[in-house]
Amino acid sequence: MLEVQNTGMAELRIGDKTIELPMLEGAEHEGAIDIRALRKETGFITYDPGFVNTGCCKSDITYIDGEKGVLRYRGYDINDLAEKCEFVDVAYLLVHGTLPNKEQHDSFSAHLNNHSMLHEDMRHFFGSFPDHAHPMATLSAMAVSLSSFYPELEDTSKQENIDYKVTRLLSKMRTAAAFSYKKSIGHPIVQPRHDLKYCENFLNMMFSTPVNNYQVDPVVANALNKLLILHADHEQNCSASVIRMVGSADANLYASISAGICALWGPLHGGANQHVIEMLERILEDDRGDVKKVVARAKDKNDPFRLMGVGHRVYKSYDPRARVAKQMCKDVLDQLGVSDPLVDLAQELEAAVLADDYFQSRNLYPNIDFYTGLTYRAMGIPTNMFTVMFAIGRIPGWIAQWLEMKEDPHARIGRPRQIYTGPVHREVH
Ligand code: SDX
- Residues 394 and 271: their CA atoms lie apart, in Å, by 13
407 by Cβ neighbours in 10 Å (0-12 / 13-18 / 19+) ranks as exposed
More confident call, 7 vs 318 = 318
**What pLDDT is attached to residue 216?**
96
19: β partners: 12
Mean pLDDT of the chain: 94
Three-state DSSP at 77 gives: strand
Ligand 1 atom 41, closest CA = 362
| Secondary structure class of 366 (helix, strand, coil) | strand
388-425 residue pLDDT tens: 999 999 999 999 999 999 999 989 999 999 999 999 99
Question: pLDDT band at 6, cuts 50/70/90?
Answer: confident
State residue 126's pLDDT score.
Answer: 82
Ligand 1 centroid vs 336 CA: distance in angstroms? 33
Closest C-alpha residue for ligand 1 atom 13? 269
DSSP 236: S
In this prediction, residue 150 carries a pLDDT of 81
DSSP readout, 6-70? EEEEEEEEETTEEEEEEEEE-TT--EEE--TTHHHHHS-----GGGTT------SSEEEETTTTE
Mean pLDDT over 84-100 rounds to 97
Residue 302 has pLDDT above 90, yes or no: yes
Q: What number does the ligand 1 atom closest to the CA of 276 have?
A: 18
Query: What's the Cα-to-Cα distance from 114 to each of 57, 93, 203, 257, rounded to whole Å?
Result: 34, 20, 18, 21
**Taking residues 357-373, what's their average pLDDT?**
97
Give the SS3 label for residue 308.
Answer: coil
Q: Which residues pair with 21 in a beta bridge?
A: 10
Ligand 1 centroid to Cα of residue 188, in Å, is 40
With a Cβ cut-off of 6 Å, ligand 1 is lined by: 50, 234, 237-238, 268-270, 272, 298, 306-314, 362, 364, 367-369
Q: Is the pLDDT of residue 251 over 80?
A: yes
Q: What pLDDT shows up at residue 151?
A: 77
Give the strand pairing for 70-73 and 31-33.
unpaired
pLDDT of residue 127: 82
pLDDT value of residue 153:
61
pLDDT at 165: 83
Ligand 1 center–CA 358 separation, angstroms: 13
Q: Ligand 1 atom closest to Cα of 239? A: 9
The Cα 385–Cα 314 span in angstroms is: 26
pLDDT reading at 90 higher than 70: yes
**What confidence tier does 361 reach under pLDDT thresholds 50, 70, 90?**
very high
What is the radius of gyration, based on Cα positions, of the chain?
23
Residue 152 scores a pLDDT above 70: no
Note the pLDDT of residue 130.
Answer: 87
pTM as predicted: 0.96
Give me the catalytic one of 89, 233, 319, 369.
369
Task: State the distance from the centre of ligand 1 to the C-alpha of 384, rounded, in angstroms.
Answer: 21
Question: Which amino acid residue places its CA nearest to atom 40 of ligand 1?
Answer: 362
| CB neighbours of residue 318 within 10 Å | 16
Do 363 and 316 form a contact (C-beta atoms < 8 A)? yes
Ligand 1 atom with the shortest distance to the CA of 50: 33
DSSP letter string, 177-225: HHHHHHHHTTPPP----TTS-HHHHHHHHHH-BTTB-----HHHHHHHH
Q: How far apart are CA 372 and CA 370, in angstroms?
A: 6
CA-to-CA dists, residue 418 to 153, 190, 237, 243, 269, angstroms: 36, 50, 21, 21, 24
**Which amino acid residue places its CA nearest to atom 30 of ligand 1?**
313
Is the CB of residue 347 less than 8 Å from the CB of residue 327? no
Q: If you take atom 35 of ligand 1, which residue's CA is the nearest one? A: 313
pLDDT above 90 covers what percent of the chain?
88
The percent of residues above 70 in pLDDT, for the chain, comes to: 97
Output the residue whose Cα is nearest ligand 1's atom 42: 362
C-alpha 318 – ligand 1 centre gap (Å): 13
For the segment 23-46, what is each residue's pLDDT rounded down to a tens digit? 999 999 999 999 999 999 999 999
- Confidence at residue 149, expressed as pLDDT on a 0 to 100 scale: 86
Q: Ligand 1 centroid vs 324 CA: distance in angstroms?
A: 20
Residue nearest ligand 1's atom 26 by CA: 312
Instruction: Give the pLDDT of residue 157.
Output: 57
Question: Tell me, what's the pLDDT at 201?
Answer: 97
**Is pLDDT of 117 > 70?**
yes
77 belongs to the catalytic site: no
Q: Determine the distance separating the centroid of ligand 1 and the alpha carbon of 313, expressed in angstroms.
A: 6
Instruction: Report the residue among 63, 310, 323, 363 best suited for mutation to probe ligand 1: largest number of ligand atoms under 8 A from its CB.
Output: 310
pLDDT at residue 55 is higher than 90: yes
Q: Which residue out of 231, 306, 316, 392 has the highest number of ligand 1 atoms within 8 Å of its CB and is therefore the one to mutate?
A: 306
For 169-208, the pLDDT digits (tens) are 999 999 999 999 998 898 999 999 999 999 999 999 999 9
Chain-centre distance for alpha carbon 72: 15
Q: Is 312 a catalytic residue?
A: yes
Closest-CA residue, ligand 1 atom 21, reads 311
Q: Report the separation in Å between the CA atom of 308 and the middle of ligand 1, taken as the mean of its atom positions.
A: 9
Per-residue model confidence (pLDDT) at position 156:
55
Find the catalytic residue in 96, 234, 312, 319: 312
